[in-house]
Structure 1
Amino acid sequence: MIDLKLREVKKDLSAKELEVAEYIIAHSQELKNVSIQALAKLNQVSTSTILRLCNKMGYRGFSDFKIDLISSLPKNVTNDILQDDIHLTDDLQDVNRKVLIVEKSSIDETYSMINPDELNNAIDLLINSHKIVIFGVGSSGLVGKELEYQLIKIKKDVNCHFDAHISRNIVRSLDSHDLVIIISHSGETPECIELLKIANQQSIPSIAITKMGQSQVSGLANIVLHTISTEHVSRLIPIRSKISQITLVNMLITNLFIKQYDEKLKFQTQHRKARKFPHLK
């Protein structure tokens, strides 16, 4: 788990932060009773450096960091695709095998990065919001459309447009009882940043589904749900990021359905077959 988070934020770390992170990984078994002051002294850095590292890795503080470090158990994860891209010379079976490994590892890693408190807060926002605007560019937009479709099932007033101009106009009509959801793999999509700035100006709550680490999107959103950022195969085929986003959306929607399960949803579930296949009666 710690190794995964370090990999996700590595490029955002300063030289000193990276040294501390690597020290922690190398000495994880010895850190159970080490204070932040002692760790700072061991690495000849300030405690603020360690706190910045913890924040960049998605922790609220050093205590949360240590709890996760101590509770993390080694996992047998295959590395044959994580170290090796899909090549043009690969035959059909090799490509299929590698795609399968990429998808499986993407799901596992996304699950490992879920912050339960943030997810619960996001679900509560979805439940209580009057109107919802979802926006993403490219494949992130397609994931946004899937989220829109699922929210429509529970009668939410939701819009997901690929046109940034339309989305801007809709967001400008919202208020503090509504919600903006931004999906951005990089966290630096200009249209997404602009929508979040508008949301902040109007005190509209916001959720960002984006990579772990520092980005303008994660800095502007009220709630951040992390997806994996590494993309080992060509970005022309964004398998890892797309699977990670879809996995997170499925977790969000499934938990939302459970929280909102009532007689109306029960009726819809029980009569779904009759609605979809009336000719089978």
Structure 2
Amino acid sequence: MEPYEKNIIPQIEAIYGNFTPLEKNIADFFIHNEEKMDLSSKSVSKRLYVSEASLSRFAKKCGYKGYREFIFCYEQRGQGGVKKPGSDNIKRVLNSYQELLNKSYSLIDEVQIGRVVKILTEKKRIYVYGKGSSGMVGMEMKLRFMRIGVNIEAITDEHIMKMNSVLLDEECGVIGITVSGKTEAVIDSLKAAKRCGASVILMTSHVEKKFQRFCDEVMLFAVKENLERGKAISPQFPILIMVDMIYSRMLRSDGFRRRETLHEYTMEALDER
């Protein structure tokens, strides 16, 4: 993999909230500009109707000595001209993430995602089972999907998973998350859910024929050696990619305007003091 390039845009975005309205106008220009043009201070000041002194102050607020240094770094983005030094350990972590992104792209089944979204929208109640890191993803999934109107609950305790089977019927959907596909508490609970008539979805990185006997959908996410142990990177990463795919598709399915409105309402509720 090619060395990672330093990009000035994230630096601008990170301090965007500290800019004055005029500086935000300058920042928006540099963040969204994709054209090749004269970026001298004289040219940009005329284009944005700001003074050259304002450009200089903006550059200094971004951490540069002046506009000339700022624009030099800005023009190197995507050209391989400025390399960000990093230890082998940092590169190893970044390469692992890139590898998992590539694998995730290869495993995407858009037709299956559509079927899963149908289950999530049609069932009256959704339960997500997971332990450890998978359980944390289940909690994140709950927080995100309840914002768009899904009646969803995440369960991470295996005893509660067993007790929860009493509440299941054909109007429920159950999602089990296990990286290895061998978490007994989750697998056994999915079997129980199927016996109760619930729709069952398994998210895992390993396929076994036996899953077909009690799962309506087996969604594969990318895996890397020792991923479930969190040896190099978080084992949650490839699962969260899958959750994001489902969430994005759900937002754009039938009734998406209602879901977007619900999302806005819940975010406003969280912002209330």
1:239 CA drift (Å)? 2.7
Moved more, 251-260 or 263-272: 263-272
Q: Which runs of 5+ in 1 are unaligned?
A: 1-91
1:171 CA drift (Å)? 2.6
Kindly indicate whether residue 175 of structure 2 is the aligned counterpart of residue 209 of structure 1. Answer: no
Equivalent in 92, 98, 120 of residue 98 of structure 1: 92
Aligned-partner Cα distance in 2 for 1:270–1:234: 35
Partner of 1:165 in structure 2? 159
From the superposition, tell whether residues 251 and 206 of structure 1 become closer, same or farther in structure 2 (CA, over 3 Å): same
Aligned-partner Cα distance in 2 for 1:129–1:110: 27
Displacement over 3 Å in runs of 4+: 215-219, 260-279
Equivalent in 188, 196, 202 of residue 182 of structure 2: 188
Q: Deviations over 1:79-120 (max 9, x none)?
A: xxxxxxxxxxxxx73222211111121122012112222211
SS in 1 for 2:175: strand
SS in 1 for 2:180: coil
Count of residues in Structure 1 that have an aligned counterpart in Structure 2: 189
From the superposition, tell whether residues 139 and 215 of structure 1 become closer, same or farther in structure 2 (CA, over 3 Å): farther
From the superposition, tell whether residues 233 and 131 of structure 1 become closer, same or farther in structure 2 (CA, over 3 Å): closer
Aligned-partner Cα distance in 1 for 2:264–2:227: 42
Higher relative contact order (CA 8 A, sep 6+): 1
From the superposition, tell whether residues 278 and 192 of structure 1 become closer, same or farther in structure 2 (CA, over 3 Å): closer
SS in 2 for 1:98: helix
One-letter code aligned to 1:153: R
From the superposition, tell whether residues 189 and 234 of structure 1 become closer, same or farther in structure 2 (CA, over 3 Å): closer
One-letter code aligned to 2:127: V
Please tell me whether the aligned partners of residues 231 and 240 of structure 1 are also in contact (alpha carbons under 8 angstroms): no
Please tell me whether the aligned partners of residues 211 and 227 of structure 1 are also in contact (alpha carbons under 8 angstroms): yes
SS in 1 for 2:174: strand
Q: TM-score, normalised by structure 2?
A: 0.61
Aligned-partner Cα distance in 2 for 1:123–1:268: 17
Partner of 2:127 in structure 1? 133
Please tell me whether the aligned partners of residues 174 and 200 of structure 2 are also in contact (alpha carbons under 8 angstroms): yes
Equivalent in 99, 102, 118 of residue 108 of structure 1: 102
Partner of 1:143 in structure 2? 137
Partner of 2:223 in structure 1? 229
Q: TM-score, normalised by structure 1?
A: 0.60
1:259 CA drift (Å)? 0.9
Match runs of 1:1-281 below 5 Å: 93-214=87-208, 216-217=210-211, 219-232=213-226, 235-237=229-231, 239=233, 241-268=235-262, 277=271
Please tell me whether the aligned partners of residues 172 and 198 of structure 1 are also in contact (alpha carbons under 8 angstroms): no
Identical pairs, percent: 21
Moved more, 123-132 or 98-107: 98-107
Aligned-partner Cα distance in 2 for 1:193–1:161: 13
Please tell me whether the aligned partners of residues 128 and 154 of structure 2 are also in contact (alpha carbons under 8 angstroms): yes
Larger radius of gyration: 2
Aligned-partner Cα distance in 1 for 2:205–2:227: 17
SS in 2 for 1:259: coil
